[in-house]
Each structure stands twice: as structure tokens, then as C-alpha cells.
């Protein structure tokens, strides 16, 4: 399985290292021979048909800011160039989300699909904006489009829906899909700190981005709701179908007052109402998770409510989610 890996931030690097470190184990356990034939960031690419070494790409990135600075480096090369040129089986997109139009990732994914490469992505934006269309094109071209890393990379919410619950009917999904805002709410409630202070803590702990607006506004949760609902229930929503709001105006007082009544305020995404916003849940509800955890309730016709709780996404968790997708792809591919 020859892989082109785009994006060399936390996620891309973690994945590259993981694929290299676990090479033997992947071969043994899954007969999966994964070779990263190219990595690419904004400065250019590193390309080697036998596999770009992690040490080379990471050192180049660290010292000169781009993977293109190593011995196999090619400065100025773009993802579109690479996809046209390099022979590969899978395009892995770990680039950053742009919720305005999903670009440039959206065109990268389309190009990879048109060249009959499978696509594995952790970039939520193109999926939230154009998931139904992307899946349709992928099906037409006979390739797979997998995206476990887009929702709760740290916890397999998507796999839960499509694999562990296969054969059952999921009626609705509701949950905490953003770890940053949950951490902020948790600290405001239990420590009485202000939103700004809680956010500073979150940043110190690496739970929040430098620009946390996508989290705080509810946009990140809305994007995940679209992807999770479509995946679990076969719907065809896009981001414009979801109304969302975030933590605007909430105070420690609001949270403490709710706690006195045995309730907790949580930023909930709800597939029934296609809505993201602050809502009260029972304090003992499995949706009332602490710290930066995520929690999703799956309402299953045959089983009642099932809750899945775990970490949201960090770099290594998202890389692990991409790894799950690659293993799944490998299992589905005919042996060569």
C-alpha cells in the first residue's frame, strides 16, 4: 500500500512515525505493507518510492520548516502535481480545515479520487461541506473515502456506528463532540474560573488551538455532527443544514446554578434537531463528561441508548484513527 501523505503538522508527523515504527507488526498482523512514498507540506514534497524515512522528513521540517529540505526533497511541488505524478494507492489528507469552501483540501481529494486513489482524511471541512458529493464520486470511481480522523479521532465514534452496530438501526445521535469547549465548561463549573481563564488553561494543556474560535462558536461540533449523522444514518446533510451556537455569554454562575439543580450545561450536538448549542443534561447522564472528554449517545432502535465516551482528537489520536482506516482499506483490497 503506497501512501501519499499531505500535511505535516502534529497529525501527519505522528502518522508517519507510527507507520514506520509499527511496520513489522502491521505486516504480521494485517499483511499490510504500508510505504509512505511521498510527504508534502506547503513548502514542497519529499518523494521516495522505497519510502520517505520519518527521520529525514521530521528533521527537514524542524530545521527548515518544510519536508522538502531533505535529500529526497523537492521544493515548490504541490499536492496536485504529486497526485498526477506519483504512483500510489492511497492519498492521506491531514491538512488544516477551511470551513469557507473546504479548499485547497477539497480539490486535492477530488483529484486523488479522479486518479482512482483511495482517500483517507482527517480534515473535517471538505467532509462537512461536501460529504454526499464526495462519497458519490468515490463510489463512481470505485475507490473508498474514509474519514475516521474527522470525528473524535481519539474514540471510534464512526466505527461504532458503522461496524460495531452493523445490522442495527440508529435513530438519533446526541453528544459532546468538542473536547476544548467541554474542558472549558468543566473548569468553569467545578473551579468557578472565567471562560477566558479556562481557555488559557486549555491552551497550556494543549487542548485548544491558538485560534479557538472554531471550537468556541460550535462550528467544530456542527461539522462533526454532519459527518457522524451522515455516516451513521445514511443522511445527506451538509454544514448549511445545521444551526449552531457556542459558549457565547455563559458564566460560571450559570453552570453552578444548574449544578445545584442536579444538572450540567453541555455543548450538545443533536441529529434530530440538526442543532448545536448549550443544553442542560442530568448530572448523572453519561453525556456529562469531565475534562476534555467527548461523549456520544446513540439511540438504537433495537438496543435503546448506548454511550461511547473517550478522548477527543489530539495529533496521536487522530493519527491512530487514520491508521484504523488504512488497516480497513488494506483488508478490503485484493492481494497483489
Q: Please report, as ranges, the residues that interact with a copy of itself according to CB under 8 A.
A: 30, 154-156, 159-160, 163-168, 284, 286, 289-290, 302-311, 316-317, 320, 323-324, 326-328
Residue 274 or 309 having the CB closest to a copy of itself = 309
Determine contact, residues 300/220, Cβ cutoff 8 Å: no
**In whole angstroms, how close is the CB of 286 to a copy of itself at the nearest point?**
5
**In whole angstroms, how close is the CB of 325 to a copy of itself at the nearest point?**
8
Determine contact, residues 199/269, Cβ cutoff 8 Å: no
* Angle of CA points 177, 179, 182, to nearest 5°: 95
**In whole angstroms, how close is the CB of 15 to a copy of itself at the nearest point?**
11
Contacts of 29 (CB under 8 A, 6+ apart): none
Eight-class DSSP state of 96? P
For residue 136, the number of C-alpha atoms closer than 13 Å in the C-beta half-sphere is 6
Residue 99 or 307 having the CB closest to a copy of itself = 307
Residue 110 or 189 having the CB closest to a copy of itself = 189
**In whole angstroms, how close is the CB of 106 to a copy of itself at the nearest point?**
26
Cell of 291: 475534562
Residue 215 CA to residue 37 CA, distance in Å, equals: 34
Residue 326 CA to residue 119 CA, distance in Å, equals: 10
Determine contact, residues 16/36, Cβ cutoff 8 Å: yes
Active site residue 224: yes
| Host H or E run for residue 115 | none
The one catalytic residue among 61, 224, 260, 263: 224
**In whole angstroms, how close is the CB of 120 to a copy of itself at the nearest point?**
12
Residue 36 or 77 having the CB closest to a copy of itself = 36
Q: What is the DSSP string of 79-108?
A: HHHHHHHS--SEEEE-PPP-TTT-TTHHHH
Nearest residue to 144 via CA among 101, 95, 108, 91: 91
Residue 129 or 202 having the CB closest to a copy of itself = 202
Residue 139 CA to residue 127 CA, distance in Å, equals: 15
Catalytic residues, by residue number, are 224
Amino acid at each position: 500500500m503506497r501512501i501519499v501523505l499531505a500535511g505535516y503538522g502534529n497529525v501527519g508527523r505522528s502518522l508517519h512515525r507510527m507507520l514506520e515504527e509499527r511496520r513489522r507488526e502491521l505486516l504480521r498482523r494485517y499483511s499490510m505493507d504500508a510505504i509512505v512514498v511521498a510527504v508534502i507540506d506547503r513548502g514542497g514534497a519529499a518523494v521516495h518510492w522505497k519510502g520517505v524515512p520519518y527521520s529525514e522528513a521530521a528533521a527537514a521540517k524542524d530545521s527548515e520548516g518544510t519536508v522538502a529540505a531533505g535529500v529526497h526533497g523537492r521544493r515548490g511541488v504541490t499536492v496536485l502535481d504529486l497526485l498526477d505524478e506519483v504512483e500510489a494507492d492511497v492519498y492521506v489528507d491531514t491538512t488544516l480545515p477551511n470551513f469557507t469552501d473546504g479548499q485547497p483540501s477539497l480539490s486535492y481529494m477530488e483529484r486523488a479520487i479522479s486518479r482512482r486513489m483511495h482517500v483517507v482524511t482527517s480534515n473535517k471541512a471538505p467532509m462537512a461541506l461536501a460529504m454526499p458529493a464526495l462519497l458519490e464520486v468515490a463510489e463512481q470511481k470505485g475507490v473508498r473515502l474514509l474519514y475516521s480522523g474527522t470525528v473524535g479521532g481519539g474514540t471510534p465514534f464512526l466505527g461504532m456506528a458503522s461496524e460495531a452496530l452493523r445490522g442495527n438501526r440508529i435513530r438519533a445521535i446526541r453528544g459532546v463532540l468538542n473536547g476544548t469547549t467541554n474542558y472549558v465548561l468543566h473548569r468553569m463549573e467545578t473551579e468557578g474560573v472565567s471562560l477566558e481563564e479556562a481557555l488559557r488553561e486549555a491552551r497550556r494543556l494543549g487542548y485548544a488551538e491558538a485560534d479557538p474560535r472554531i471550537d468556541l462558536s460550535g462550528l467544530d461540533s456542527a461539522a462533526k455532527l454532519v459527518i457522524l449523522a451522515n455516516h451513521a444514518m445514511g443522511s445527506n446533510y451538509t454544514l448549511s443544514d445545521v444551526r449552531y451556537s457556542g459558549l457565547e455569554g455563559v458564566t460560571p454562575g450559570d453552570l453552578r446554578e444548574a449544578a445545584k439543580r442536579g444538572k450540567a450545561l453541555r455543548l450538545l450536538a443533536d441529529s434530530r434537531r440538526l442543532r448545536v448549542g448549550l443544553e442542560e443534561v442530568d448530572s448523572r447522564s453519561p453525556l456529562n463528561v469531565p475534562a476534555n472528554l467527548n461523549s456520544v449517545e446513540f439511540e438504537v432502535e433495537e438496543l435503546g441508548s448506548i454511550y461511547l465516551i473517550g478522548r477527543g482528537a489530539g495529533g496521536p489520536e487522530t493519527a491512530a484513527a487514520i491508521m484504523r482506516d488504512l488497516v480497513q482499506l488494506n483488508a478490503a483490497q485484493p492481494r497483489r
